[in-house]
């Protein structure tokens, strides 16, 4: 490895007497910060850490003081989350600037550790043999990863050049076979601290579409990944064909893992793309959940909920399969469970609705003295699209079922080649409001064609008070098992379902994907 792409602060030869170099006094200064005044506390920390990083110091002394700063800042990082910032009596612009400044503290502290890494690299030190250097690498990667996480929590752009520095620090340790070597850190760690673990933890967060999660849920997810991230497989071999759950890592680029593309190579081994396989993590979490199955009333158990959240993200998205492309075309949209049942139960309903100019409402017709409710399709604009989802812009009429995060909708024309003959079921993963009553919906599309079903907890419930769900047949070509999409409240070991007039007793198994309102399960038929 001939060079290391790493930014470090300039070092000034002159001493700065204003910089505190006594560890005891620095600890006391950190304790006395006006922690309830976020703006002032963050200002003072920047004013202290920035000149400290520019001060020439022996590496041992620098690391000792950096660890004091890091321990003192932990409380600041925990307190100043996005919920705390929202309640501060600050104008929106100042609140945004404060969020950027807090994120900058992570990076400023990481800069101090990167100075130690740069010194070790320039001296040709081996991180596998030098515990001091390995600790500096680990801390720098840990803090950069936390800055990326904080940016996502407060909805700010990922700081540059965070990703290329994470990749380069990983490559440095990979070159010296130090990825899985235990790092000696001062505080107790819940898992064995290694460079490989902290790196893959950041990568996993990057490839999952977590926009629908709250900041607190993001933190829960991040902490859970400490346990599972080491299961990821990072390989130097690039497959000849794309695979679900497989991503490419460009160690020279300032970007997170991308959807795998074939044929990437470089002259030097350490510059070749790496591939990240996240499926072992999904499989391990699903196995854990299978061993800790609980009754419906206990589903909010704090030990179970983050794991279910994680397996839902991994199972539903295979991470982000790639960037979305601009679509800018109109599609027909059906909102709500009943509308989906109406259009999927009879292809003629879809054909009729697509051929009319009436949309956005419900028309009631009288047929043989009985009222039939005929649902119509709304005209929405698709702003962008990927293999797994799209961004929709449109208006929800008073007669439509109001969409919410986790609810179902149908998109006619998600695949342009299918024209108006195909209605794809989607789950609302993100929702935003814009002016004039129009809404933006971020939608995850479920790959296969669905069939409406009725289900009940017992055979009697199925006959007397059935509920509505959807059945997805087995897809051999894509390697997907049959599954059921049911309301979350319906979760139990066994159910009675009726598909095309035939009743079955089924046992629910692993989770394919989940949302706030619905969960998709694999199942087996009870004989």
The predicted structure's pLDDT at residue 369: 35
Residue 400, helix vs strand vs coil: coil
- Check residue 1 and give its pLDDT: 67
- For residue 1, being part of any structural domain is answered with no
Q: What is the DSSP string of 173-208?
A: HHHTT-TTSPP--SS--SS---HHHHHHHHHHHHHS
Same domain, 463 and 423: no
Domain with residue 361: its CATH number is 2.40.10
Q: What is the DSSP letter of 157?
A: P
In angstroms, rounded to a whole number, what is the distance separating the alpha carbons of residues 344 and 135? 58
Q: State yes or no: cis peptide before 161, omega within 30 of 0.
A: yes
For residue 314, give the nearest of 287, 338, 346, 347 by alpha carbon: 287
Same domain assignment for residues 148 and 58: yes
**Pair (441, 311) in one structural domain:** no
- Helix, strand and coil content of the chain, in percent to the nearest 5, comes to 40, 25, 35
Q: What percent of the chain has pLDDT over 70?
A: 81
Please give the Cα distance from 221 to 215 (Å, whole number). Answer: 10
Over range 80-84, report the average pLDDT: 75
List Cα–Cα distances, 254 to 6, 236, 251, 439, in angstroms. 11, 19, 8, 33
Q: Is residue 10 part of a domain?
A: no
Q: Which residues pair with 473 in a beta bridge?
A: none
CB 405 within 8 A of CB 377: no
The number of folded domains in the chain is 3
- What residue numbers bound the domain in which 308 lies? 23-317
52 vs 14, residue with greater confidence: 52
Structure tokens at 488: 């979350």
| 148 and 73 part of one domain | yes
CB–CB of 276/233 below 8 Å?
yes
Tally Cβ neighbours within 10 Å of residue 372.
11
- 132 and 277 share one domain: yes
Condensed to tens digits (0 to 9), the pLDDT of residues 112-135 reads 999 999 999 999 999 999 999 999
Read off the pLDDT of residues 267-309 as tens digits, 9 standing for 90 and up. 444 467 888 888 888 778 877 777 766 443 344 444 666 777 6
Please state, in angstroms and rounded to a whole number, the distance separating the CA atoms of residues 48 and 432: 40
Q: How do residues 356-388 score in pLDDT, each as one tens digit?
A: 554 344 443 333 434 445 677 888 998 888 877
Asked whether residue 351 falls in the same domain as residue 304, the answer is no
Provide DSSP, 234-259.
EESPPPSS--TTEEEE-TTSSS--EE
| Structure tokens belonging to residue 28 | 């006391």
Contact criterion met (CB below 8 Å) for 428 and 405: yes
493 Cα distance to chain centroid: 29
Q: pLDDT at position 514, please? A: 73
The pairing of beta strand 362-367 with beta strand 502-514: unpaired
- Asked if residue 211 is part of any domain, the answer here is yes
| List of residues 6+ apart from 4 with CB closer than 8 A | 117, 118, 121, 168, 172
Bigger pLDDT: 323 vs 351: 351
- pLDDT, one tens digit per residue, over 408-466 is 999 988 876 665 668 899 988 777 666 667 888 888 888 778 889 999 888 888 888 88
Task: Note whether 491 and 296 are within 8 A (CB).
Answer: yes
pLDDT at residue 371 in the model: 42
**Do residue 284 and residue 415 come from a single domain?**
no
Which contiguous run of DSSP H or E holds residue 102? Answer: helix 92-122
pLDDT band at 323; cut points 50, 70, 90 = low
Neighbours of 304 (CB within 10 A): 16
The answer to whether residue 11 is domain-embedded is: no
Query: pLDDT averaged over the chain?
Result: 81
Q: Give the model's confidence band at 111: pLDDT under 50 very low, under 70 low, under 90 confident, else very high.
A: very high
pLDDT digits (tens, 9 = 90+) for 236-247: 877 666 666 788
C-alpha closest to that of 205 among 195, 193, 192, 220: 220
Model pLDDT, residue 188: 61
pLDDT, one tens digit per residue, over 209-249 is 776 677 777 888 888 888 888 888 888 877 666 666 788 89
The mean pLDDT of 50-59, rounded to a whole number, is 93
In a shared domain, residues 200 and 177: yes
Residues 300 and 196 placed together within one structural domain of the fold: yes
pLDDT on residue 46 = 94
3-class DSSP assignment, residue 421: coil
Pick the residue with more confidence: 76 or 62? Answer: 62
Q: Which of 183, 98, 113 is nearest to 145 (CA)?
A: 113
Kindly state the helix (H) or strand (E) to which residue 118 belongs, with its residue range: helix 92-122
> 147 and 36 in one domain?
yes
Q: Do 27 and 154 have their domain in common?
A: yes
Is 133 in the same domain as 223?
Answer: yes
């Amino acid at each position: 490895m001939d060079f290391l792409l790493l930014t470090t602060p300039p070092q000034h030869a002159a001493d700065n007497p204003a910089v505190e170099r006594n560890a005891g006094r620095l600890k006391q200064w950190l304790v006395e910060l006006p922690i309830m005044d976020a703006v002032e506390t963050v200002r003072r920390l920047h004013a202290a850490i920035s000149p400290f990083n520019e001060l020439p110091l022996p590496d041992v002394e620098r690391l000792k003081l950096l660890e004091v700063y890091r321990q003192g800042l932990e409380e600041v990082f925990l307190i100043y989350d996005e919920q705390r910032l929202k309640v501060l009596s600050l104008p929106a612009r100042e609140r945004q600037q404060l969020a950027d400044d807090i994120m900058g503290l992570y990076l400023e502290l990481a800069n101090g550790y990167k100075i130690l890494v740069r010194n070790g690299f320039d001296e040709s030190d081996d991180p596998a043999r030098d515990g001091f250097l390995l600790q500096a690498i680990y801390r720098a990667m840990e803090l950069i990863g936390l800055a990326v996480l904080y940016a996502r929590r407060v909805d700010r752009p990922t700081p540059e050049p965070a990703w290329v520095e994470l990749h380069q620090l990983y490559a440095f340790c990979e070159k010296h076979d130090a990825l899985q070597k235990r790092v000696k850190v001062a505080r107790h760690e819940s898992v064995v601290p290694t460079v490989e673990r902290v790196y893959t933890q950041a990568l996993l967060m990057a490839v999952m579409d977590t926009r629908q999660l709250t900041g607190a849920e993001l933190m829960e997810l991040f902490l859970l990944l400490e346990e599972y991230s080491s299961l990821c497989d990072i390989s130097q071999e690039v497959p000849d064909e794309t695979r679900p759950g497989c991503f490419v890592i460009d160690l020279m680029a300032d970007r997170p893992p991308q959807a795998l593309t074939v044929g990437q190579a470089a002259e030097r081994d350490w510059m070749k793309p790496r591939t990240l396989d996240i499926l072992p993590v999904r499989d391990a979490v699903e196995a854990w959940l299978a061993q800790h199955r609980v009754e419906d009333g206990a589903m909010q158990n704090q030990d179970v909920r983050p794991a279910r959240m994680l397996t839902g993200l991994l199972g539903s998205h295979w991470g982000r399969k790639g960037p979305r492309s601009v679509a800018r075309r109109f599609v027909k949209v059906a909102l709500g469970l009943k509308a989906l049942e109406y259009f999927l139960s009879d292809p003629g309903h879809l054909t009729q609705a697509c051929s009319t100019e009436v949309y956005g409402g419900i028309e009631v017709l009288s047929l043989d003295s009985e009222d039939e409710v005929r649902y119509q399709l709304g005209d929405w604009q698709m702003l962008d699209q990927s293999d797994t989802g799209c961004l929709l812009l449109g208006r929800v009429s008073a007669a439509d079922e109001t969409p919410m995060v986790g609810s179902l909708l149908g998109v006619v024309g998600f695949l342009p080649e299918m024209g108006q003959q195909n209605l794809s079921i989607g789950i609302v993963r993100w929702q935003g409001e814009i002016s004039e009553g129009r809404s933006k919906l971020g939608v995850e599309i479920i790959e296969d064609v669905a069939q409406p079903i009725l289900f009940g907890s017992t055979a009697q419930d199925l006959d007397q008070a059935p509920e509505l769900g959807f059945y997805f047949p087995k897809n051999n070509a894509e390697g997907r098992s049959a599954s059921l999409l049911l309301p979350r409240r319906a979760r139990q070991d066994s159910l009675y379902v009726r598909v095309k007039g035939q009743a079955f007793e089924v046992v629910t198994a692993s989770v394919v994907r989940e949302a706030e309102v619905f969960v998709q399960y694999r199942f087996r038929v009870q004989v």
